[in-house]
Amino acid sequence: MSSVQRRYIRLTAAVAALGMAATLAGCGAGEGAGDVTLKLVAADYGSGDANTSQKYWDDLVASFEKSHPGITVDVDVMSWKDVDREVAEMVAKGEAPDLAQIGAYADHAAADRLYKVDDILPIPTQANFLPLLARAGQVERAQYGMPFAASTRLLFYNKGLFEKAGAKPPKTWDEIRTAAEKLKGEGVKYPFALPLGTEESQAETMMWMLAGGGGYRDSGNISYDINSNENVTTFAWLKNNLVGKGLTGPVAPGELDRQEAFDAFVQGDVGMLNGHPTLMDAAEKAGVKVGKLPLPSPDGEGRPAMGVADWMMAFKQNGHRKEIGTFLTYVYEDKNVLAFSDRYDILPVTSTATATMRNDPKHRDLWPFLEELPTSELYPVGHTSWAKVSESIKKNIGKAVAPGGDPDAVLSGIARDAKDAEAAE
Q: What is the mean pLDDT of residues 82-102?
A: 95
Neighbours of 304 (CB within 10 A): 16
Q: Is 90 exposed, middle or buried (0-12, 13-18, 19+ CB in 10 A)?
A: middle
pLDDT at 27 over 60: no
CA angle 43, 196, 225 (to 5 degrees): 90
Domain limits of the chain?
Answer: 36-150+308-375, 154-304+385-423
> One fold for both 36-150+308-375 and 154-304+385-423?
yes
How many angstroms separate the CA atoms of 32 and 102, rounded? 31
What is the distance between the alpha carbons of residues 180 and 402, in angstroms, rounded to a whole number?
18
pLDDT at 409 over 90: yes
Does residue 370 carry a pLDDT above 70?
yes
Tens of pLDDT along 315-338?
Answer: 999 999 999 999 999 999 999 999
- Residue 80: what pLDDT? 86
The model's pLDDT over 242-287, given as tens digits with 9 standing for 90+, comes to 999 999 999 999 999 998 999 999 999 999 999 998 899 889 999 9
How high is the pLDDT of residue 28? 31
Least confident segment among 23-27, 98-102, 291-295, 378-382:
23-27
154-304+385-423: in CATH 3.40.190.10: yes
Residue-wise pLDDT for 160-184, tens only, equals 999 999 999 999 999 999 999 999 9
Q: Is the pLDDT of residue 72 over 70?
A: yes
The percentage of the chain sitting over the pLDDT mark of 70, rounded to a whole number, equals 92
Q: Which residues of 97-119 are buried (b: 16+ CB within 10 A; e: fewer)?
A: bbbbbbbbbbbbbbeebbbebee
pTM score of the predicted model: 0.83
Q: How far is CA 196 from the centre of its chain?
A: 19
- Residue 16 pLDDT greater than 50, yes or no: no
Tell me the Ramachandran region of residue 203: left when phi exceeds 0, alpha when psi lies from -120 to 50, beta otherwise: alpha
What is the Cα–Cα distance from 92 to 324, expressed in whole angstroms?
Answer: 21
- Kindly give, in sequence order, each residue whose CB lies less than 8 Å from that of residue 256, ignoring residues fewer than 6 positions away: 193, 194, 195, 196, 197, 248, 249
Of the candidates 99, 141, 138, 164, the residue with the CA atom closest to the CA atom of residue 324: 99
pLDDT surpassing 70 at residue 24: no
Distance CA 327, CA 345 (A): 23
Range 36-150+308-375: architecture per CATH: 3-Layer(aba) Sandwich (3.40)
Which residues have CB under 8 Å from 423's CB, separation 6+? Answer: none
- In residues, how long is the chain? 425
Per-residue pLDDT at 3 exceeds 60: no
Residue 300, amino acid: G
Range with lowest mean pLDDT among 13-27, 66-80, 100-114, 203-217: 13-27
- What span, in angstroms and rounded, lies between the C-alpha atoms of 249 and 272? 11
**312 near 324, Cβ under 8 Å?**
no
